[in-house]
Structure 1
Amino acid sequence: MRRLSIASRPQLSSSMAYPRRALPFLAASSNPPVPRSPHQCRRDMAVLSRSLRGDESPRKRRRWRRIWNRYVIPDRPTEIVAVEDDEEDTHRHDEYATNSIEESSSHRDGSIYTGLGYFYWKKYLHVADRGETRLEPMMFTDPTPDCGRYIGDCWRHRPTGMLQIFSIQVAKLIPQDAGSAELYGYVATRDNLDPLLNYVVNISRDDPLVVEQGSLVPMTGPKRGIEVGIDCMEITLVEYDMRIKVGQHEKDDLQILDGASMLGNQGSWGWPFKLDTPGDFGTIDLTLSRVRSAVEATVEVAILQVQSSFNLSLVCLTSGFKDEEIVLFDGAIAESRGLKRSVVAVASHSYMDLKFNVAGLPSTPDQHCCSFKAEIHGHVTQHIKTEFALISVKVTWSTLQHTTMA
């Protein structure tokens, strides 16, 4: 595989604790470029840095050539070379694992609430505010009078970068022969739309979840889609505090996951990766992906006309991620009911597939599938008839709301 590289270029910092520094070759020259706004410059820097790393497709590199010509100092020679890479590009999420936990982000010792004026991300995302996000899903389901359409796309409401969390798994318990454990706590996100907590998991200490090594933690969220901004100054925070209940008092509980991880526009897009967060008493793996140009799908499932009790497993595949299943429901159905609402990020012009595994008690499961193509507005309803019940599936499409944070 060939990628573009610049000889002796400085390392780009990924830390957001301080403002990003300008690259040396963007200094003033005797022949300065046409003035551009700070927002335009930041976007240019993001595109240029991704291109130099080889993250962009050949089609998108046409833009960075224009940016390069706009900014590079004419009298300073700069060499761009093609680097040969013999490593196979398999794009498995194991190759994109990271254990980056932000400094001073612990809930246990309270350090996440200190240095609010020192750490940019703490102030920007209001980490001291423990309220839940005020925004709801399906904000732009209905077209507005000023919507314009071209080749099926809405000019007014555009897809945006989104974060999809596929699974949360108890990868390791220490000691390994501990058997089962009672787990509680939360995993949530904060983003540019609304910095308040958007819970993905929120388990009370009074009603802990019994887990074993390898268990999946059921995800009850997110409440709405999670934005990942394309601007280098926009960040998304994954915040977590999960513990193992061992006694009567919270101070005696064992910490298994604690801190926060920042995600920005830099890094892999469209490929799963892990937040590998080893703790003193175990490890919980979060598998997730940035999805470029995505829309929000809200999935609502109703179980109707139940004939007899049965087991139902509902999993979701989205945006071409064939090996990453999102478990939306797994349990027994005894009567007509609605399942919890689920929100999924779907890449524009791609599909979301739902797989219903239905089985009697006991019986070999039968699988029923339905697919939905990503849209900007509106909703689609499909019905699945089984020998146990009628399953009604409603998928509502929307883009994310864009607001200016105070």
Structure 2
Amino acid sequence: MECGGAQEAVSSMALRSGRILGDEKPIGEKRRGILRSRMSLDRDNPNEEKRIGIERGGAQAIDSSTAPRSRVALGADGFPLDGVTRGELLGNLKHADGSIYTSNSYWAKVYRLYDTSETCLESMMTTVPYDSCMPNWRVCKRHAYRTMMQIFSLKLAYTSSYVSGPVQLYGYVAVRDLLNPMRNYVFNRTRNDPLVVEHDGFIQMSGPKRGIRMQAPVLIEFDLKIKTEGEEEGDDQQVIDGVAIFGDRISGHARVNTQRMDGDGGSVDIKFAVLERASEATVQVGISEIEKGSCLSLCLAGSYTSPSYVSHGKIQLFDGVITAEASELSRTVVAVARDSKLVVKLKLSQKGGLDIHRCTIFPVEKHGSQSFIFNLGVATVEVMVTWSTMDIPQSLLGPNCFAHEFMASEGVEYVDE
């Protein structure tokens, strides 16, 4: 296996990002003083307690999903006998009965669960360097790395009843963070276009659309069903319906975790890690110079390398058949910690020939882009990584977007249901 360095391509990515950013104004001492005073308000105020809890990663007002967990066999130590850690769903929040849209609970209000809109924010929002990047954009100390969540995989662990034929899964899984609490889909399929889940149970993810900022807890919204032979959606089997909370201090830095979310009709495993001081990487894969009629299969996977920790998380970037008509194959958004590097491994398979393996390493940046071209003889594959921090200035944020997470709870009255 050969490893090559990534080549820089800042100017081309500035054009592809479709956004020219101006210089943002620094936050003055007066503004910082206001922020500090807001954070030190009366802690006897229940709403203020919730706001402080949000910033510290607290998990107040969480109710167990007692129905699913009652079916989990526990050992004498109180842990599941199957050895899989269980996640918790927020109580009394479901799509089926509409409670998720009408709830007056704190979490429902702060994370705007009543709003079904997709997040308005895109990836690569701070790709183009600012004039104020000091001392220069390569070693920019103006923009900060942020704590981010990386979701490696979703897996259908089991279903509570027998399903004849292939499992056709549809619905959605969406993340809500307090940078913008609208839905950031990691899986989204309609009943007319279900995903056929293979024997390994893995759910092919389509997102996220942008990086997941985790300066505060994030919510993950589930509404997954299995399509049956019935003609109506009401005939289908509900796998999981609800909202789970993941705190920003749920695990140590870069530690890969798996949590099982138990629903009324099945369970879903989510494999993830919390990455401190991370940058958003948008990985784009393109293909060219491929012979017509070629039967080629391409698989690209990402992982991390670092002298300070070992992460076993694998990120699927692309896996499928490529044709001569293909150009840009995929776009995947991942999080990469400052103390690591992104490793992209390529495997090209051709009918009747030997598999071709290559890899390249991309060092972490705050701005700009890097690209590497694999000349494989039968095809040319370009991998381009565009960097952006989640330290997005207020001037680029739209409605329901918050540069500081505690702002999302301002003016929200908490009702203890």
TM over 0.5: yes
Shift of 1:360: 0.7
Distance across 1 between alignment mates of 2:356 and 2:372: 18
CA deviations on 1:162-183 (whole Å, 9 max, x unpaired) are 0100001122234467452111
Change (3 A) 1:136 1:48: closer
Unaligned residue ranges in structure 1 (runs of 5+): 1-35, 51-93
Q: Report the counterpart of residue 219 of structure 2 in structure 1.
A: 237
Change (3 A) 1:136 1:45: closer
Contact 1:175 1:281 in 2 (8 A): yes
Contact 1:191 1:228 in 2 (8 A): yes
Are residue 382 (structure 1) and residue 365 (structure 2) matched?
no
Shift of 1:362: 4.9
Change (3 A) 1:179 1:323: farther
Shift of 1:153: 3.4
Distance across 1 between alignment mates of 2:203 and 2:124: 26
Q: Report the counterpart of residue 290 of structure 1 in structure 2.
A: 274
Shift of 1:38: 5.1
Correspondence for 1:188 among 153, 174, 179 = 174
Shift of 1:104: 1.6
Q: Report the counterpart of residue 3 of structure 1 in structure 2.
A: none
SS of 1:353's partner is strand
Q: Report the counterpart of residue 168 of structure 1 in structure 2.
A: 154
Question: What are the within-5 Å matches in structure 2 for residues 347-358 of structure 1?
Answer: 347-358=337-348
Q: Report the counterpart of residue 255 of structure 1 in structure 2.
A: 238
Correspondence for 2:190 among 204, 207, 228 = 204
Contact 2:57 2:248 in 1 (8 A): no
Q: Report the counterpart of residue 209 of structure 2 in structure 1.
A: 223
Aligned letter for 1:209?
A: L
Distance across 1 between alignment mates of 2:237 and 2:133: 52
Q: Report the counterpart of residue 100 of structure 1 in structure 2.
A: 88
Shift of 1:274: 2.0
Distance across 2 between alignment mates of 1:46 and 1:205: 35
Shift of 1:278: 2.1
Correspondence for 1:134 among 120, 137, 141 = 120
Distance across 1 between alignment mates of 2:199 and 2:87: 19
Shift of 1:378: 0.7
Unaligned residue ranges in structure 2 (runs of 5+): 1-35, 42-48, 59-81, 395-401, 409-417
Contact 1:135 1:194 in 2 (8 A): yes
Correspondence for 2:300 among 314, 318, 322 = 314
SS of 1:112's partner is helix
Q: Which moved more, 1:278-287 or 1:148-157?
A: 148-157
Change (3 A) 1:39 1:153: farther
Question: What are the within-5 Å matches in structure 2 for residues 34-53 of structure 1?
Answer: 37=37, 39=39
User: Which of the pair has the greater relative contact order for Cα pairs under 8 Å at 6+ separation?
Assistant: 2
Change (3 A) 1:362 1:250: farther
Shift of 1:257: 1.9
Are residue 147 (structure 1) and residue 137 (structure 2) matched?
no
CA deviations on 1:90-125 (whole Å, 9 max, x unpaired) are xxxx97833211112221222212223xx2111111
Shift of 1:190: 0.9
Are residue 109 (structure 1) and residue 97 (structure 2) matched?
yes
Distance across 2 between alignment mates of 1:48 and 1:225: 20
Change (3 A) 1:209 1:44: closer
Shift of 1:149: 3.2
Aligned length: 322
Shift of 1:255: 0.8
Distance across 2 between alignment mates of 1:279 and 1:364: 44
Shift of 1:209: 1.1
- Please give the TM-score of this superposition, normalised by the length of structure 2: 0.71
Question: What are the within-5 Å matches in structure 2 for residues 22-101 of structure 1?
Answer: 37=37, 39=39, 97-101=85-89
Contact 2:57 2:217 in 1 (8 A): no
Shift of 1:328: 1.6
Aligned letter for 2:312?
A: D
Q: Report the counterpart of residue 329 of structure 2 in structure 1.
A: 339
Change (3 A) 1:276 1:402: farther
Contact 1:100 1:275 in 2 (8 A): no
Q: Which moved more, 1:148-157 or 1:247-256?
A: 148-157
Change (3 A) 1:204 1:256: same
SS of 1:354's partner is strand
CA RMSD of aligned residues (A): 2.8
Q: Which moved more, 1:319-328 or 1:153-162?
A: 319-328
CA deviations on 1:124-180 (whole Å, 9 max, x unpaired) are 111111111111111111111111138953222110010100001122234467452
